[in-house]
Structure 1
Amino acid sequence: MRNRSEQKHVTFEPLTMEFEERSNEEYKGNIPSSSIHSISPLFVVFFVILLLGLFGLSLLLDSILPVPLKSADKEKYSEKFIAEEARNYLKGLTDFGPRVVGSYENELLAVQYLKKQINDIVINAHSNKKIKVDLQTVSGSYYLDYAPYGIVNAYGNVQNLIVKLSSINNNKNKSILINAHFDSVPTSPGGSDDGINCATMLEVLRVLSRSADDFEHDIIFLFNGAEESFLQASHGFITQHNWAGNCKVVINLEAAGAGGKIILFQTGPGQPWLVHKFSKVPHPAGQVTGEEIFQNNLIPSDTDFRVFRDFGGVVGYDMAFVRSGYRYHTKYDGFDNIPLGSFQHVGDNVLSLIKNLVNTTEIDNLESQDQTKVVYYDFFGLFMIVYTINVATLLNYSTALLCVIVAFRCFFTLGLRLNKEDLLYILITKMGIIVGWLLAIGFTVILGILLDYLGYTMSWYRNPWIILGLYVVPIWGLCCGVIIIANKYSFKENNSIAAHTQVQLSCVRLIWCVPLVIGTFFNIRASHIIQIPLVFNSLVFAVIHFSKLQYSVRTWQFLHLISTLIPVCYLMYTSVILMTFVIPITGRFGSNKNPELFVGFATLILSVLISSLFVPLITLVRSPLKVFYGFLITFLAFFGLVFTPLGFPYSGDFSSPAPQRFWIQHTGRAFYNINGTVYKQDAGYFIVNLDRNSPRSVENFVEDVKKAQSVNTLSDSELFYGMPILHPRAIEK
């Protein structure tokens, strides 16, 4: 063994000294079975427990809500949002039950209730404030370019209750608009959609109206009475009300779930200063990934924000509750299931955001403001990171360049050169990783199609934890299995397992550089999800290789694991938010799509991204096949669960509902010819299948469903087959 200082160039000897007395046969085509660099399979068990702990931490961080203030705190915290006061407002509103547009409950009771609460607030307002209240009754029509066919919507006599809060000395004609709707869908009391946000607006109005501070801009509170009928009331306000022309920034409050945190999922267009203002709120929560998903029409919903933006030219924020999306638009969206902390979360953020905006100078000259898009994401709800897409481009390309430099440094220090043998070694190593990913894709497709064919799709709908064993575990197992096999052919003679593992990790980073560069080139702002783990791991490996720590036994392994903790926690946190939103949506995005593929591919992308910097460590494990068999047994156990009651997708439990949705209309049809004469009449039930299991899941319980006739079998001589299509998206379902 030579002293390192005497070496003229870097070789493998420092990494392979433990093998020097072994026969050459041990190196040819095989990884040494024992090494001071190797680790016990028990370490894998410990590591899996660690990952589960990090996942639990991510769930915990996502569920933490601020401590709510009670009504008894009003005098002590006169400038603060009081959660209990807001909850009392919501109780009064939801007591009326469902508030469908045109109903007595919506058009009279709800309006009277809101007017009374507003009048009480006006009476107690500070002397330096003036408050105007207007009840708008409006009619109109408009076209929305929905996929796939668009929609023309005409409305008559819908109502808006509008409050304008101003400082007496304010002479500017610029306003901040805050919007929520008090109507609900049939059968739903609308506790979260959108009652909690109406209650929040009332409490924010109460606090601001009593403030002694002067406001440079007016604040308009729009309680709109017709959102569920395709955004009608917001259109009536922004196109016809006298105050609409002064509205420059909108804060739209919505819900696609119940409870939890309110999340910013759309902002702009342009105006990066808006996100910077939002980043200063007490509990920032928002992901640009959600914005890109929403704006690419991957979510079957829309909000009033679109109307304000498209018909009023207004910029601003679109925020929504997304936790427990199973309750959305159902009887389960009530008052009792919303924790008091959710009121405090939305109230603190909205109140703070308005205070950040009400005296800002950017509103005075929006046209001259920067129109660049921004990348934004909250870091475990503690703070928000914001930077423009130009900065993102620089960061992403710099990260890719860093990955390449560190990888070549790694290859060089481990003795690899630009010769045919070494290039082939690197190529086979990369292919082993890529083939594992390709097999994971193939597995996801096959499993999704198989479960759909067997009639056991959506087994994870009620119990999302099933996804871990059904998709995550086999995806990781396949990636590990391919590396185990590839090691038989790509392991370099006289190479240590530590050196080989470091080469594999460098190859992983180089592979991820490709989608990072492509995403950056096409201005995909969600590319930061790839950039974060790459930059952390590349920086640590730069330290490892420039400090020659790659020759250590455990130090480089420890540093590598440490470098992945923060990125993995962040990716898990993002995964929790994304899957919490995505899984309930599969219950309402139609029967023509396979939800297994939708959820499977979302899981695949996140699982591969999280695991790719760990999977090569399988090379260090003694008896790696034991790990693979552990993954296989776990998958088979979860696959078996699919066929048990635990795999039944739905639940009617009020405390934790996961209902199957049915859109059923009792329909009477009359067909007229060109002369206005009725030539055919009939009646029946029109059922729109909202998920993959509809109507098969109820055929054995509702005999008439078996007699149902598919719309596709009807004559296409009538528009939409003569069916009462209320929304163009129903055509696809």
Structure 2
Amino acid sequence: MRNRSEQKHVTFEPLTMEFEERSNEEYKGNIPSSSIHSISPLFVVFFVILLLGLFGLSLLLDSILPVPLKSADKEKYSEKFIAEEARNYLKGLTDFGPRVVGSYENELLAVQYLKKQINDIVINAHSNKKIKVDLQTVSGSYYLDYAPYGIVNAYGNVQNLIVKLSSINNNKNKSILINAHFDSVPTSPGGSDDGINCATMLEVLRVLSRSADDFEHDIIFLFNGAEESFLQASHGFITQHNWAGNCKVVINLEAAGAGGKIILFQTGPGQPWLVHKFSKVPHPAGQVTGEEIFQNNLIPSDTDFRVFRDFGGVVGYDMAFVRSGYRYHTKYDGFDNIPLGSFQHVGDNVLSLIKNLVNTTEIDNLESQDQTKVVYYDFFGLFMIVYTINVATLLNYSTALLCLIVAFRCFFTLGLRLNKEDLLYILITKMGIIVGWLLAIGFTVILGILLDYLGYTMSWYRNPWIILGLYVVPIWGLCCGVIIIANKYSFKENNSIAAHTQVQLSCVRLIWCVPLVIGTFFNIRASHIIQIPLVFNSLVFAVIHFSKLQYSVRTWQFLHLISTLIPVCYLMYTSVILMTFVIPITGRFGSNKNPELFVGFATLILSVLISSLFVPLITLVRSPLKVFYGFLITFLAFFGLVFTPLGFPYSGDFSSPAPQRFWIQHTGRAFYNINGTVYKQDAGYFIVNLDRNSPRSVENFVEDVKKAQSVNTLSDSELFYGMPILHPRAIEK
């Protein structure tokens, strides 16, 4: 450093006092190795390894399941859920194979099997418990509003097997409803959808029926026999059964995958106390982000929870397994692929939740309870954080204010003032960051359209790790590249690289405050995903700038990195959950949508949020272009993989399937005129294209597919071209 007494007068006095003096001309090019604030490109390699380690930790935290209890533990843990007992129940149910509504397997074998297991439980119940069993056969009709068209559904003679568990001394007429369905789609044995949850209910019923504890509220177990036919049996129960009127809270158990953890993805409406009760279960897992995605119809699915809520006015919980969504509604959804820990996870949570609810006073006066929505998310599956949207509003606005205060403190201590030159410098710095994001958006669009045009879309479907090199790496590279270029023009005279980097980091936080404030204003509860990294980083930089640590050589860099570890790990954990759910859905959300854009933009948002507090550190790196070239080479390598067998989207491996789905109906059509006379008849195969590659992927292997006509070429004189549309969402596909 230059001796202070020898320094010439400059505008940015704090910088000249402590930071290495650098001129604008000196910066144009690579950072000299003599800079005490610079870091080696090898540090970037170490940092990438650190990020990969955090990503691996996120995968590990998401995959951890509780230690399952075995049947031999029943006597020792009489009040506990026994995973092996539940698995035995599931084995008996899945042995019947697919259980389609109306089939012999569903209407007779499955019902008889469940009745036998329930009767065995009744025989061994505690003397202070009374159990009633009812088999409901019900018919009805209803309307469900779907986009773009609703559906009128009429049903006849569907079955519900219902069990009511009560304490002898209970005189209240309030019930907790727990629901799962035992039917399945054609070809699928329904191991996870929804057999595991039926098995869980049987084991929970066994444990609670033997408990000596008194229950203030009844518990109704609804084994419904017609969910896959558009939620019919749940409608029959909630609108026509004698016990339905007493049901105040529902726990709906579903599956959109197989194995892993069961996740809370919908609750309410209102009633924040519900989430507080759930937060006390042993293995809480749930994200309000999933709730907002689901309730905004971004996911092509629905559950019985909607029927209970809309037709019965019931509040409660909607939970589902989402891991390995490739198995959902396929022959791969069997018994053997479900780990025993998954049984223990759902069983422990459901049993604990019922115990938390069964004596609660909130059920007695739901109308007077707070109706405020809540923000909730689990912290690595260890515990759940819950607060109302009013608290979220206060937190988010306070975080934005903190960012503003810390940024002004940063600018002031680094010598910036409210003059034209300094404001222009800050503006150019911000624009460099924003332009990087805009280029990343443009890249995502171009790549998505290009891969779709070339016929190589969904290369990541079977191997999601391809997304890292195909999207994440180039997005980070573009953001870094723009900053490298912008630094050549926005670097201020006498400004050190450390000071410039801190200004960039402050600008990043200020930019993120904009979507945080907008999201908060529109009550988007998922805004916490932005708030978490902002508050961590802002608090640390408040310490840095108010303690004058910004003048240190390495201390501020170390504190900055430490402040980002927990938020980044959490964002990666959330990303793993969301992408695990989202990627398999692209195999069934229709051929009229480009899945590259869907997954690309999801990756873009998460990647930019995770990396934005790291990317400005490229300013400190000697030879930053080497880092950019590393990103470029990595992307090109992964882009090449797309055109190899590794980029083939599908797999029929039973241990790790990723099948392509085809909805094929052998159809006979008869057209009647107004007099009831048939004026035309034909027959054929009606194929609904479920993903972007259908039917192109099989045209060279199935000759008849080449002869297929698009429905758009048929006469439009008939409703929906005279096609047998079973679900309004098929119209979009």
Q: Into which bin does the TM-score normalised by the smaller protein fall?
A: over 0.9
- Tell me if the contact between 1:15 and 1:496 (Cα under 8 Å) persists in the aligned partners: yes
2:459 and 2:28 map into 1 onto residues whose CA distance is 47
Q: CA deviation at 1:433?
A: 0.1
SS of match in other structure, 1:515: helix
1:22 and 1:279 map into 2 onto residues whose CA distance is 53
- Tell me if the contact between 2:189 and 2:333 (Cα under 8 Å) persists in the aligned partners: yes
1:7 and 1:630 map into 2 onto residues whose CA distance is 40
TM-superposition CA deviations, 1:669-717 (whole Å, max 9, x none): 0000000000000000000000000000000000110110001111111
SS of match in other structure, 2:416: coil
Q: Please, what TM-score do these two structures have when normalized by structure 1? A: 0.98
- Tell me if the contact between 2:14 and 2:414 (Cα under 8 Å) persists in the aligned partners: no
SS of match in other structure, 1:415: coil
Alpha carbons of structure 1 residues 325 and 37: separation in structure 2 relative to 1, 3 Å: same
- Tell me if the contact between 1:175 and 1:218 (Cα under 8 Å) persists in the aligned partners: yes
- Tell me if the contact between 1:179 and 1:252 (Cα under 8 Å) persists in the aligned partners: yes
Alpha carbons of structure 1 residues 486 and 724: separation in structure 2 relative to 1, 3 Å: same
Q: Which residue of 1 aligns with 2:403?
A: 403
1:21 and 1:720 map into 2 onto residues whose CA distance is 73
Q: Which residue of 1 aligns with 2:564?
A: 564
- Tell me if the contact between 1:31 and 1:491 (Cα under 8 Å) persists in the aligned partners: no
- Tell me if the contact between 2:22 and 2:494 (Cα under 8 Å) persists in the aligned partners: no
Q: Which residue of 2 aligns with 1:208?
A: 208
1:562 and 1:116 map into 2 onto residues whose CA distance is 58
- Tell me if the contact between 1:29 and 1:490 (Cα under 8 Å) persists in the aligned partners: no
TM-superposition CA deviations, 1:540-571 (whole Å, max 9, x none): 00000000000000000000000000000000
- Tell me if the contact between 2:484 and 2:619 (Cα under 8 Å) persists in the aligned partners: yes
Q: CA deviation at 1:419?
A: 0.4
2:25 and 2:600 map into 1 onto residues whose CA distance is 43
2:526 and 2:630 map into 1 onto residues whose CA distance is 34
Alpha carbons of structure 1 residues 235 and 23: separation in structure 2 relative to 1, 3 Å: closer
In structure 2, runs of 5+ residues without a counterpart are none
- Tell me if the contact between 2:135 and 2:161 (Cα under 8 Å) persists in the aligned partners: yes
Aligned length: 733
- Tell me if the contact between 2:264 and 2:287 (Cα under 8 Å) persists in the aligned partners: yes
1:219 and 1:547 map into 2 onto residues whose CA distance is 58
Alpha carbons of structure 1 residues 716 and 449: separation in structure 2 relative to 1, 3 Å: same
Alpha carbons of structure 1 residues 715 and 90: separation in structure 2 relative to 1, 3 Å: same
Question: Which range moves more in the overlay, 477-486 or 30-39?
Answer: 30-39
Over aligned residue pairs, what C-alpha RMSD do you find? Answer: 1.8
SS of match in other structure, 2:700: coil
- Tell me if the contact between 1:30 and 1:487 (Cα under 8 Å) persists in the aligned partners: no
Q: Which residue of 2 aligns with 1:239?
A: 239
SS of match in other structure, 2:461: coil
- Tell me if the contact between 2:24 and 2:492 (Cα under 8 Å) persists in the aligned partners: no
* Deviation beyond 4 Å, 4+ runs, structure 1: 1-25, 27-34
Alpha carbons of structure 1 residues 5 and 502: separation in structure 2 relative to 1, 3 Å: farther
2:611 and 2:40 map into 1 onto residues whose CA distance is 19
Alpha carbons of structure 1 residues 349 and 25: separation in structure 2 relative to 1, 3 Å: closer
2:163 and 2:422 map into 1 onto residues whose CA distance is 72
TM-superposition CA deviations, 1:355-405 (whole Å, max 9, x none): 000000000000000000000000000000000000000000000000000
TM-superposition CA deviations, 1:91-115 (whole Å, max 9, x none): 0000000000000000000000000
Q: CA deviation at 1:596?
A: 0.1
- Tell me if the contact between 2:67 and 2:341 (Cα under 8 Å) persists in the aligned partners: yes
Alpha carbons of structure 1 residues 319 and 20: separation in structure 2 relative to 1, 3 Å: closer
SS of match in other structure, 1:600: helix
SS of match in other structure, 1:421: helix
Alpha carbons of structure 1 residues 24 and 137: separation in structure 2 relative to 1, 3 Å: closer
Q: Which residue of 2 aligns with 1:730?
A: 730
Q: CA deviation at 1:21?
A: 8.1
2:421 and 2:432 map into 1 onto residues whose CA distance is 17
SS of match in other structure, 2:125: coil
- Tell me if the contact between 1:238 and 1:311 (Cα under 8 Å) persists in the aligned partners: yes
1:23 and 1:367 map into 2 onto residues whose CA distance is 68
- Tell me if the contact between 2:189 and 2:334 (Cα under 8 Å) persists in the aligned partners: yes
TM-superposition CA deviations, 1:128-151 (whole Å, max 9, x none): 000000000000000000111000
- Tell me if the contact between 1:81 and 1:348 (Cα under 8 Å) persists in the aligned partners: yes
- Tell me if the contact between 2:15 and 2:494 (Cα under 8 Å) persists in the aligned partners: no
- Tell me if the contact between 1:29 and 1:493 (Cα under 8 Å) persists in the aligned partners: no
- Tell me if the contact between 2:21 and 2:495 (Cα under 8 Å) persists in the aligned partners: no
- Tell me if the contact between 1:30 and 1:491 (Cα under 8 Å) persists in the aligned partners: no
- Tell me if the contact between 1:18 and 1:36 (Cα under 8 Å) persists in the aligned partners: no
SS of match in other structure, 1:183: coil
Alpha carbons of structure 1 residues 296 and 24: separation in structure 2 relative to 1, 3 Å: closer
2:15 and 2:669 map into 1 onto residues whose CA distance is 81
1:208 and 1:522 map into 2 onto residues whose CA distance is 43
**Residues 1:648 and 2:667 aligned together:** no
Question: Which range moves more in the overlay, 714-723 or 597-606?
Answer: 714-723
Q: CA deviation at 1:8?
A: 15
1:95 and 1:32 map into 2 onto residues whose CA distance is 71
Alpha carbons of structure 1 residues 27 and 576: separation in structure 2 relative to 1, 3 Å: closer
In structure 1, runs of 5+ residues without a counterpart are none
Alpha carbons of structure 1 residues 313 and 143: separation in structure 2 relative to 1, 3 Å: same
2:422 and 2:163 map into 1 onto residues whose CA distance is 72
- Tell me if the contact between 2:20 and 2:496 (Cα under 8 Å) persists in the aligned partners: no
TM-superposition CA deviations, 1:61-101 (whole Å, max 9, x none): 00000000000000000000000000000000000000000
Q: CA deviation at 1:286?
A: 0.1
Identical amino acids, percent of aligned pairs: 100
Alpha carbons of structure 1 residues 21 and 183: separation in structure 2 relative to 1, 3 Å: closer
Q: CA deviation at 1:18?
A: 8.6
Q: CA deviation at 1:523?
A: 0.2
- Tell me if the contact between 1:587 and 1:691 (Cα under 8 Å) persists in the aligned partners: yes
SS of match in other structure, 2:418: coil
TM-superposition CA deviations, 1:197-233 (whole Å, max 9, x none): 0000000000000000000000000000000000000
TM-superposition CA deviations, 1:269-318 (whole Å, max 9, x none): 00000000000000000000000000000000000000000000000000
TM-superposition CA deviations, 1:649-679 (whole Å, max 9, x none): 0000000000000000000000000000000
- Tell me if the contact between 2:21 and 2:494 (Cα under 8 Å) persists in the aligned partners: no
Alpha carbons of structure 1 residues 8 and 524: separation in structure 2 relative to 1, 3 Å: farther
Q: Which residue of 1 aligns with 2:4?
A: 4
Alpha carbons of structure 1 residues 285 and 22: separation in structure 2 relative to 1, 3 Å: closer
Alpha carbons of structure 1 residues 605 and 10: separation in structure 2 relative to 1, 3 Å: farther
Alpha carbons of structure 1 residues 159 and 608: separation in structure 2 relative to 1, 3 Å: same
Q: Which residue of 1 aligns with 2:68?
A: 68
Q: Which residue of 2 aligns with 1:390?
A: 390
- Tell me if the contact between 1:459 and 1:466 (Cα under 8 Å) persists in the aligned partners: yes
Q: CA deviation at 1:244?
A: 0.1
TM-superposition CA deviations, 1:461-519 (whole Å, max 9, x none): 00000000000000000000000000000001100000000000000000000000000
- Tell me if the contact between 2:30 and 2:623 (Cα under 8 Å) persists in the aligned partners: no
- Tell me if the contact between 1:31 and 1:488 (Cα under 8 Å) persists in the aligned partners: no
1:692 and 1:23 map into 2 onto residues whose CA distance is 54
Q: Which residue of 1 aligns with 2:708?
A: 708
- Tell me if the contact between 1:650 and 1:659 (Cα under 8 Å) persists in the aligned partners: yes
Q: CA deviation at 1:2?
A: 8.9
- Tell me if the contact between 2:184 and 2:194 (Cα under 8 Å) persists in the aligned partners: yes
SS of match in other structure, 1:161: strand
- Tell me if the contact between 1:227 and 1:234 (Cα under 8 Å) persists in the aligned partners: yes
Q: CA deviation at 1:26?
A: 2.2
1:224 and 1:146 map into 2 onto residues whose CA distance is 23
- Tell me if the contact between 2:448 and 2:597 (Cα under 8 Å) persists in the aligned partners: yes
2:169 and 2:703 map into 1 onto residues whose CA distance is 69
Alpha carbons of structure 1 residues 293 and 182: separation in structure 2 relative to 1, 3 Å: same
TM-superposition CA deviations, 1:575-613 (whole Å, max 9, x none): 000000000000000000000000000000000000000
- Tell me if the contact between 1:163 and 1:220 (Cα under 8 Å) persists in the aligned partners: yes
Alpha carbons of structure 1 residues 413 and 110: separation in structure 2 relative to 1, 3 Å: same
2:472 and 2:20 map into 1 onto residues whose CA distance is 40
Q: Which residue of 2 aligns with 1:80?
A: 80
Alpha carbons of structure 1 residues 28 and 633: separation in structure 2 relative to 1, 3 Å: closer
Q: CA deviation at 1:12?
A: 4.5
- Tell me if the contact between 1:324 and 1:580 (Cα under 8 Å) persists in the aligned partners: yes
Alpha carbons of structure 1 residues 374 and 20: separation in structure 2 relative to 1, 3 Å: closer
